[in-house]
Amino acid sequence: MTVLRIGVSSGAPLKTRRSAASAAVSLVTPTPADPSGEPAWLNTILKGDCVAALEKLPAKSVDLVFADPPYNLQLGGDLHRPDQSKVDACDDHWDQFESFEAYDAFTRAWLMAVKRVLKKDGSIWVIGSYHNIFRVGAILQDLGFWILNDIVWLKSNPMPNFRGKRFTNAHETMIWATPSREAKYTFNYEALKTFNDDLQMRSDWQLPLCTGSERLKDASGQKVHPTQKPESLLYRVLTASSKPGDIVLDPFFGTGTTGAVAKRLGRNYVGVEREEAYIEAARKRIDAIEAGSGASLDMQKGKRAEPRIPFGSLLEAGLLAPGTELTCPKGKHLAVVRADGSLVSGDHSGSIHKVGALVQGAEACNGWTFWHINDNGARNPVDELRKLLRSRLAE
């Protein structure tokens, strides 16, 4: 795995490191030309400030963005459990901002950089807590993004509120949005419904925090990253809003959960991260994963996603012949197929849908399911022939 290094010193003052100033890029290890023609930055981690790094990516080059930006938690002092042990809270320097105004400026800068590289029909997910998500949402709208949903991640194992001064904070919020209202974004509705036992997927997802063997630890047994997201969360996000082969960008890569899940699901990724320790952990984690490929990555699709098969194609394929008689399910109405793919039934003629509606005195009709063909004494809808032709074309 190659890491591209963006020239912003990790020891620079906080305000400088969060600026949008342009920076030089160099390869940590040289990347040979890819004979497949894939860009050198694909499936790599860019090291440095996210705004400067994203300037190096081509415009409209990524299909999906998952962003887990600093939450600006505004923690005041250490937090202890009732037994006086210290809680390992997120108090890292990258989550500290001088003011709300500074955080808003940072948010606007990285969102503008993301919007430049996001394809017009792509989408973005941003996760946050009550500390920041409302400010992020407002800035998203100010920049012209169109919000599709807010998803509530209900933590099945949340950290208790040890001080007893507030409700247990048991959820985080994700905003799903497109670059504009007109975007023709990916939403794998049928796949998610199948995933959810044939029930429509809701906007409240109950998933556990990242624990156990999934939680990355350093040599001393400490958590490598304080807010590592569970792979189950990214699995659902990528399943919902991307396709195999898509490019997924994570501008706050951390320990690489997005890259790990992307590789497993046959997606490409590009990450941006500033901290060397996180990059090293992410690299090892992703390198150990076997990339998904082949038919196992196919997704359930609705009828709208299937190729259109005109009724006349059944004649061209020899599945029907001019003069074939079709009937309604009960055999009450009869129609004859003509060479141009139209039907005639008494004084009525036209498409399978039009004639089906006319013989019933209805405003509309799905001719594919209304008209049946006699198959050795059994009546089968002509839609079965359409399915057969689709399978032939797929082969």
CATH of residue 168's domain is: 3.40.50.150
Domain annotation covers residue 38: no
Low pLDDT (below 50) residues in the chain: 7-33, 75-82, 85-87, 89-90, 94
Could you tell me the strand order of the sheet in which 171-178 lies? 25-27, 3-6, 44-47, 268-273, 247-250, 62-67, 118-128, 171-178, 146-155, 204-207
| pLDDT score, position 162 | 62
Chain mean position to CA 162: 35
Looking at residue 17, what is its pLDDT?
34
Sort strands 334-337 and 325-327 into parallel, antiparallel or unpaired.
antiparallel
Tell me which of 297, 325, 352 is where a domain ends. 297
The CA distance from 115 to 109, in Å, is: 10
Domain that holds residue 365: 311-394
In residues, how long is the chain? 395
Same-domain status, 287 and 371: no
- The 8-class DSSP code of residue 3 comes to E
pLDDT at 95: 52
Are residues 256 and 126 located together in one domain of the fold? yes
Other Cβ atoms less than 10 A from the Cβ of 39: the count is 15
Query: Do both 64 and 126 map to the same domain?
Result: yes
Q: Report the 10 Å Cβ neighbour count for 98.
A: 10
Asked if residue 352 and residue 290 are part of one domain, the reply reads: no
Please tell me whether residues 176 and 253 are part of one structural domain.
yes
Please tell me whether residues 51 and 197 are part of one structural domain. yes
pLDDT, one tens digit per residue, over 54-100 is 998 999 999 999 999 998 875 444 444 445 544 454 455 545 678 88
Residue 199's pLDDT is: 94
- Output the pLDDT for position 143: 98
